Structure 1
Amino acid sequence: MVECPYSKQIWSAAATWAGCPSLSPAIWSANFDLQSWFCHLLKVQQQYRKGVGSLVLLIVWSLWRERNNRIFRKAELSVPRFISFLRDAIRMWIFAGAKFLSSLVGHIFCE
Structure 2
Amino acid sequence: METSHQMLAECRYRRRVWDLTVTWLAQPNLRPNAWRPSSNALEWWTSITTTPDSPRKALRSLTLLIMWEVWKERNARIFNRHETSPTTLMAKIKDEASAWLLAGAKDLALLLARK
TM-score by length of 2: 0.84
The equivalent of 1:80 in structure 2 is: 87
CA contact (8 A) 1:59 1:86 kept: yes
Decide which moves more: 71-80 or 40-49: 40-49
Q: Which amino acid aligns with 1:21?
A: P
Deviation at 1:19, TM superposition (A): 2.3
The ranges of structure 1 where at least 4 consecutive aligned residues each deviate by more than 4 angstroms after the TM superposition are none
The equivalent of 2:112 in structure 1 is: 105
Using the alignment, how far apart are the partners of 1:106 and 1:25 within structure 2?
23
Instruction: Tell me the percent identity.
Output: 33
Stretches of structure 1 lacking an aligned partner (at least 5 in a row): none
The equivalent of 1:92 in structure 2 is: 99
Deviation at 1:75, TM superposition (A): 0.3
Q: 1:22 to 1:46 in 2, by over 3 A?
A: closer
Listed one character per residue, the Cα deviations across residues 41-93 of structure 1 (whole Å, up to 9, x for unaligned) are 12222761010010011000000000010011110101111111111111111
The equivalent of 1:42 in structure 2 is: 49
Equivalenced residues, count: 108
CA contact (8 A) 1:94 1:101 kept: yes
Q: 1:25 to 1:92 in 2, by over 3 A?
A: same
Decide which moves more: 4-13 or 45-54: 45-54
Q: How well do the aligned residues superpose, as a CA RMSD in angstroms?
A: 1.7
TM-score by length of 1: 0.87
Stretches of structure 2 lacking an aligned partner (at least 5 in a row): 1-7
CA contact (8 A) 1:20 1:44 kept: no
CA contact (8 A) 1:9 1:79 kept: yes
CA contact (8 A) 2:19 2:30 kept: yes
Listed one character per residue, the Cα deviations across residues 3-59 of structure 1 (whole Å, up to 9, x for unaligned) are 001111111121232222221101113444222211211222276101001001100
Decide which moves more: 70-79 or 12-21: 12-21
Using the alignment, how far apart are the partners of 1:4 and 1:102 within structure 2?
29
CA contact (8 A) 2:73 2:84 kept: yes
